[in-house]
Amino acid sequence: MRLALINRTGGLEFLEDHIRAACPGTRLAYWPSDAAREAEVAICWDPPDGTLADMPNLRLVHSIGAGVDRILADPTLPDIPVCRIRDDDLAVAMGEYCHWATLWFHRGLDTVTRNAAAGHWHRFEQRPASQVPVCVLGLGDTGRHVAGRLRDAGYPVRGWSRSPHEIPGVVCHAGPEALPLALADAQVVICLLPLTPDTTGILGHATLSALPPGAGVVLCSRGEHLDRAALVTLLHSGHLRGAVLDVFPQEPLPADDPLWHEPGVLVTPHMSALAKPRRIVAQIAENLRRLDRGDPLLNRVDRARGY
């Protein structure tokens, strides 16, 4: 079977040795090349529009990440299966990051870090976790784990999803009309939604204003979820306390982007949960075997739903 590694900006070489080890008998090519164009399986992060439609033998598109928004955004995407990565380790890593980001606001570590940089010793009152409600947007693989971890750490947790969920100890809301309710008392909001037409720009002025004064925003999903002008306006007005941002419409975030220096904003380099190459390739290899045998594929994306 012929495989192609496809990404707009390259950089997928880190998968090569793992693919050679886990997928014996396959031939691997990098896009752009004639050999890549002939491949039956595209292993992608961000394929340029039209690339996949120009592969006459294509039978499967496999994301190397949990998200598939860059793949589904291509209006010429052929009607073939798209699969994504699902990984318990990824959810655990996301749990660690989101717990830390919650503590960043809850324990005032944003303030402490600023004070420390100025050599300023200032102690302030600390609140217990039970007084810091957290809202998790998206209750899928990552959101459900994050909600459970924060609940276990003593935070009152609210969750929001498209369809109704039941998670013990978490107040779950579903549907667009329930969003204001989910946000109403949240001191921290964590976005773990997939990027779809319905969720693009969801962290806009209306949503962010629905948070109580002094709330912090944690964005781990996609940069396009956030209306950055609305964020900056609400930071400047003092309505929002700050934001921990892990994802951006353009990555890497350019060195001269003002967000790096925006007071209250902490930028991290899309590292909240990184799947191990070995784990990514093991899932792709299993799907290649299934494709060969004609068995149902694992972690197939519902293209109509967009995730």
Which partner from the list ligand NDP, ligand OXD, none does 272 bind, CB cut-off 5 to 8 Å by kind? ligand NDP
Catalytic residue among 107, 270, 279, 303: 270
- 47 or 65, CB closer to ligand OXD? 65
Q: How far is the CB of 138 from ligand NDP (least distance, A)?
A: 3
Is 270 a known active-site residue? yes
Q: How far is the CB of 262 from ligand OXD (least distance, A)?
A: 22
Q: How far is the CB of 87 from ligand OXD (least distance, A)?
A: 8
Q: Which helix (H) or strand (E) holds 158?
A: strand 157-161
Which partner from the list ligand NDP, ligand OXD, none does 138 bind, CB cut-off 5 to 8 Å by kind? ligand NDP
Kindly report the number of other CB atoms within 10 A of residue 237's CB atom.
Answer: 10
Residue 15 and residue 42 in contact, taking contact as beta carbons nearer than 8 Å:
no
Alpha carbon distance 44, 8 (integer Å): 9
Residues that bind ligand OXD (CB under 6 A): 65-67, 275
Residue type at position 201: G
Catalytic residue among 99, 151, 158, 222: 222
- 95 or 156, CB closer to ligand NDP? 95
Which partner from the list ligand NDP, ligand OXD, none does 240 bind, CB cut-off 5 to 8 Å by kind? none
Residues that bind ligand NDP (CB under 6 A): 66-67, 90, 138-143, 160-163, 192-196, 198-199, 220-222, 246-247, 270, 272-273, 307
Q: How far is the CB of 65 from ligand OXD (least distance, A)?
A: 3
SS3 content of the chain, % helix, strand, coil (to 5): 35, 20, 45
Kindly report the number of other CB atoms within 10 A of residue 176's CB atom.
Answer: 10
- 180 or 306, CB closer to ligand OXD? 306
Helices first, then strands: H and E counts in the chain: 10, 12
Alpha carbon distance 222, 229 (integer Å): 16
Which partner from the list ligand NDP, ligand OXD, none does 207 bind, CB cut-off 5 to 8 Å by kind? none
Q: How far is the CB of 268 from ligand NDP (least distance, A)?
A: 9
- 244 or 273, CB closer to ligand NDP? 273
Alpha carbon distance 71, 61 (integer Å): 8
Q: What are phi and psi of 99, to 5 degrees?
A: -65, -45
- 21 or 274, CB closer to ligand OXD? 274
Alpha carbon distance 7, 31 (integer Å): 7
Residue type at position 173: H
215, β-bridge pairs: 240
Q: Which residue in the shown chain puts its C-beta closest to ligand OXD?
A: 65
29, β-bridge pairs: 4
Residues labelled as active-site residues: 222, 270
